[in-house]
Amino acid sequence: MSLRFCFGPSGSGKSHRIYEEIMQRAAEEPGRNFLIIVPDQFTMQTQKDLVMRSDRDGILNIDVLSFGRLSHRILEEVGTKEMPVLDDTGKSLVLQKVAADLKEQLPAMGSLLHKQGYIHEVKSAISEFMQYGISTQDMDKLITSAQKRGALAMKLKDLKTLYRGFQDYIRDHFITTEETLDVLRRSLSKSKILKGSVVVFDGFTGFTPIQNRLIQELMRVCAETIVTVTIGVGEDPYKMDGEQKLFHLSKKTVADLEKLAAEAEVERGEDLFVKGGANRFAKAPALHYLEQNLFRYQYEPYAGEQQEIHMFEALSPREEVHQTALYIRHLIREQGMTYRDIAVVIGDLEGYASYVETEFGQLEIPCFLDRTRGIVLNPMIEYIKSALQLYIKDFSYDTVFHFLRSGMADISKEEIDELENYVIRTGARGYRTYSRLFTRRTEELQGNAEESEQAEEKTMERLNRIRQQFMDAVEILHMGSQEKAGDYVSHLYDFLEQNQVQQKLLNYQQQFEKEGDLSRAREYAQIYRLVMDLLDQVYELLGEEEISRQEFADILEAGFGEITVGTIPQNVDRIVVGDMERTRLKQVKVLFFLGVNDGNIPKNASKGGIISDMDREFLIESGTEMAPSPRQQMYIQRLYLYLNMTKPSEQLYLSYAKVNSEGKGIRPSYLIDTVRKLFPAMSVEYPQNRSRLEQIEGRQEGARYLAEELREYADGTLREEERQDFYLMYRAYEADAAGRDLLTRAAFRRYRESGLSRIVARALYGQQLENSVSRLETYAACACRHFLQYGLSLQEREEFGFEASD
């Protein structure tokens, strides 16, 4: 039993050295198991790398796992008593029920639990307590230490009540994902796979307390434990320093693991310091200098010119993404790179994601957005929620047409419009009204002399057919106002099956596949299974509980809010687009870092939620280990910046926008000044100021610019220096004369205002206005003002239905 570390800066080849050692030892010791533990997002890539390194094209006694996959592997081997694992969705369902039962015992939170998203915040707080090993007994100490902060003490008391109620509800029936690591820790000694094995932890920036306890037990069971740690050359990994230092988190990891090894009486092996070897910066001295000096307090500015680091400013986020796409096309065409050689990291991924999809799509750049999406706005979710609301709100106008327009109802848009017009005119409301034949004629049907009685009957038959089709779809959900949760779930199952929702989602999936949107197609392929899993959890967790319709809808709402859909890259040669903390990059030649603006870098570290930032700082200072405070998170973000900016082996592009998506001015991040101080000779580029001819990539892009310049030419605003480019572009589209002529006609088209004809005005307003005197006076005043403004004659005024005396 031993523990040893592999130290080295980013790009030094730590993983390479350790993998080479493991590959060699695995060949020499075929009877020993070698386990490599990496973050979840990195398992597939690591497996691929190891297989490609192998001389035998296989890794028989080497296994690549994440913490979650390690739990499944070992618990399956030792045969631990199986209990269903409660994920975030299940926790929210249970908490929704527990909170409803304990509402009277929650003086601080009871009145807020009905608010959308509040249960999610409660779940996050309780998950944090579990992750950091804080029990209900430990919470008593927290409450005592927070007595002088009244509001915090009250919140902690309510959280303790919910925490205890949650644990009581799931005890002996379920375990949470956080508890699986604790169950795994207690089962490690029974595992034959782990006995005498070698375990490597690679790619982690730190570990939580519950993970540390698991690693301590692994040290006792395994023959050797190896941990790779990123730390700069010249740094002392065994000497702790201030949390403001770049490698503080790395040193804290070393100190924690050494302490745990000493407690477990595990020997310390010989640590490995990697300073060179397979250095990724062999062709990029400026990037090597950046790695050695970024966020260090003492440095010398880079001497001489460099071509590896670029910086550009764009007017807006959309223009920033567009210029990035043009740079990428240039790299592919002029420098012979492949798409997989390039990666994009964004400071604000959610804010930029739609622009990436649009701009990269127009330039036909394959990309994979590394993110998870919520499903709350998916048509199926809206379909279910609106169907339940029909009976909660007794078929109100809003709920009926929310359901019909969800995108899953088998009624055409024209029929829905016709039904809506009838409902608005007659005021049809309520289950009783919709469950009976419509008989009331509208004023149009009664007053239209040209329409025969037979035509009226056909219209009413059509409306009743639409009504009946609607009621047939939802009648199966007609239940009592207070039922068992399991009964509600059963009826919802039948509702989804009867209305062929799975087939409708399959149709959406096939449509996206035809359009080439494989990511969206993959998302729709998962929705039905995820919703079925949610309903199964509701049935298992709350099946025998008596609840109301509204409580059932709230429980489902909480569950839907927790479901996220992730996808994997659909092709090999593509650009990975992600954020600086979640995304794991490897073997990248060029990195584009977008959105380097204040507010994104450093990212707003405020967690918000139930425990405020000030409360978190107070609890941490009182000796409780919790998730990092905003101040600590800001320092940790610098380590992520360092890791990302030192990923590329050849070129790095940094960019920022002048205004945000709302048109408000924003400032560059402090990172821009930091890099410019390191490289004083580097200048900021303004690629959008290049001529439009230089920015054209493909016919689709050219057509967009031609449309803009045609409009400017038609308005007389095209600048003199741009006219030659305009003429050249116009002539370039001679092969597509029809498309060019269409753009030309559109550019010169103008709107001409004309008044309403007498027939149209009477169709809209009738011959007799029904309104209050004051409102009629207002209308008359407006009409007179318009008559005088446009100089209408008496005859023209009469066309609008006004007499000469008016």
3-state SS of 504-553 is HHHHHHHHHHHCCCHHHHHHHHHHHHHHHHHHHHHHHHHCCCEEEHHHHH
Report the distance separating Cα 591 and Cα 337, nearest Å: 13
Is residue 707 a contact partner of residue 746, using CB atoms and an 8 Å limit?
yes
Is residue 158 a contact partner of residue 104, using CB atoms and an 8 Å limit?
no
Identify the pLDDT of residue 13.
86
SS3 label, residue 696: coil
Identify the pLDDT of residue 622.
77
Identify which of 431, 427, 377, 380 has the alpha carbon closest to the alpha carbon of residue 408. Answer: 380
Report the distance separating Cα 724 and Cα 730, nearest Å: 10
SS3 label, residue 225: strand
Report the distance separating Cα 659 and Cα 661, nearest Å: 7
How crowded is residue 147: how many other Cβ atoms within 10 Å of its Cβ?
9
Report the distance separating Cα 256 and Cα 250, nearest Å: 10
How crowded is residue 101: how many other Cβ atoms within 10 Å of its Cβ?
11
Report the distance separating Cα 566 and Cα 449, nearest Å: 59
Domain 309-374+573-689 has CATH 3.40.50.300: yes
Two tokens, residue 130: 């579990």
Place of tokens 């707003």: 604
Identify which of 56, 38, 141, 55 has the alpha carbon closest to the alpha carbon of residue 47. Answer: 38
pLDDT tens per residue, range 337-392: 999 999 999 999 889 988 998 888 888 888 888 877 777 678 888 999 999 999 99
118-131 helix and 150-170 helix, angle to the nearest 10 degrees: 80
Is residue 347 a contact partner of residue 597, using CB atoms and an 8 Å limit?
yes
Which residues in the chain come in under a pLDDT of 50?
Answer: 277, 449, 773, 776, 790, 800-801, 804, 806
Report the distance separating Cα 256 and Cα 236, nearest Å: 15
Architecture of domain 2-82+180-273: 3-Layer(aba) Sandwich (3.40)
**Around 510, how many Cα atoms within 13 Å sit in the side-chain half-sphere?**
6
β 575-578/367-369 pair status:
parallel
Identify which of 70, 73, 74, 43 has the alpha carbon closest to the alpha carbon of residue 59. Answer: 43
Report the distance separating Cα 661 and Cα 760, nearest Å: 41
SS3 label, residue 198: strand
Q: Where are the domains of the chain?
A: 2-82+180-273, 87-173, 309-374+573-689, 692-748, 758-799
pTM above 0.75, yes or no: yes
Return the H-helix or E-strand segment holding 757: none
Identify the pLDDT of residue 795.
53
SS3 label, residue 712: helix
Identify the pLDDT of residue 93.
82
Report the distance separating Cα 188 and Cα 182, nearest Å: 10
Identify which of 17, 652, 18, 576 has the alpha carbon closest to the alpha carbon of residue 288. Answer: 652
pLDDT tens per residue, range 395-444: 999 999 999 998 888 899 999 999 998 898 888 899 999 999 988 877 66
